[in-house]
């Protein structure tokens, strides 16, 4: 359960986020703050896992909030803001995600998945640190050797995640695009996204997940959007809600 704080100076924005989070069983809303000064005080006295933090607030903005908190002790941060221009600064302070308002439930769930993965890694690192002087345990398997088992055309296919170039949604099916062709699998995008994980794959729009190593370039369009170009020549639109990821690509943060 993610013990969560909502920080936003706009009551309607807090209410909308609270309504979206209410149905998420992995989230427990611990409190709300209407400005950065209140948020700093709340975070200092409360055990939290996650904070949804607005960027621009009167008196103390989101980045100033983080500056008041020791990096080693602060909870995971997801910025939720209408201001795209602060994305570089957000990822520079190791934010988990950057949600551009207005975002939908699906985009929020992606951010929560990343938060859960972040928290799990932090807890694992803490556990390993506490066990330094104990006898070595069996090492976890190398993530590169993991297999993904899918059922396609009545047969079970065993894939290494790195064989997948990108994933395309088609109602209740997904197409796995491989160098050798494509496989149609009866699975939802949310399910395959959870199985692939956020380390090597990223959702760039409602209908496409791509392998990060397969991204060749990102091209601006005349309308101010971006097109993701893969190494095999495939061109896919980058949705506005995921545009904050552009800065992570450029900074090699992912």
Domains and their CATH numbers in the chain? 2-127 (3.40.50.2300), 143-251 (2.40.50.1020)
For 126, the enclosing helix (H) or strand (E) is: helix 105-130
Please give the model's pTM, rounded to 2 decimal places.
0.59
Structural contact between residues 113 and 82, judged by C-beta atoms closer than 8 angstroms: no
pLDDT for residue 107: 86
pLDDT for residue 127: 52
Distance CA 52, CA 248 (A): 19
Q: What is the residue-wise DSSP string for 155-206?
A: EEEEE-GGGEEEEEEETTEEEEEETTEEEEE---HHHHHHHH-TTTEEEEET
pLDDT for residue 155: 85
According to DSSP, the residues that pair with 191 across neighbouring strands are none
Residues of the chain with pLDDT below 50 are: 131-145, 253-254
At 173, phi and psi to the nearest 5? -120, 165
pLDDT for residue 147: 76
Beta strands in the chain (DSSP E): 2-7, 27-33, 50-53, 76-81, 97-100, 148-152, 155-159, 164-170, 173-178, 181-185, 201-205, 208-211, 215-220, 226-230, 235-238
pLDDT for residue 196: 84
């Amino acid at each position: 359960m993610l013990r969560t704080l909502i920080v936003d100076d706009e009551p309607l924005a807090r209410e909308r986020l609270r309504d979206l989070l209410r149905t998420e069983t992995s989230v427990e809303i611990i409190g709300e703050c209407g400005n950065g000064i209140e948020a700093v005080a709340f975070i200092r006295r409360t055990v939290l896992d996650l904070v949804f933090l607005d960027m621009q607030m009167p008196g103390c903005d989101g980045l100033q909030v983080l500056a008041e908190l020791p990096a080693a002790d602060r909870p995971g941060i997801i910025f939720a803001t209408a201001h795209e221009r602060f994305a570089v600064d957000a990822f520079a302070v190791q934010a988990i995600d950057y949600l551009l308002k207005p975002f939908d439930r699906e985009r929020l769930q992606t951010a929560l998945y990343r938060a859960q993965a972040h928290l799990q890694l932090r807890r694992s690192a803490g556990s390993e640190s506490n066990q330094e002087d104990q006898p070595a345990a069996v090492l976890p398997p190398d993530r590169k050797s993991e297999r993904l088992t899918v059922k396609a055309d009545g047969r079970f296919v065993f894939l290494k995640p790195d064989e997948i170039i990108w994933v395309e949604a088609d109602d209740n099916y997904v197409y796995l695009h491989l160098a050798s062709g494509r496989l149609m699998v009866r699975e939802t995008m949310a399910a395959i996204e959870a199985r692939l994980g956020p380390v090597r794959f990223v959702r760039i729009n409602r209908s496409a997940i791509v392998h990060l190593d397969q991204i060749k370039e990102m091209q601006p369009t005349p309308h101010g959007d971006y097109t993701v170009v893969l190494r095999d020549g495939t061109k896919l639109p980058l949705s506005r809600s995921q545009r904050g990821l552009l800065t992570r690509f450029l900074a090699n943060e992912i």
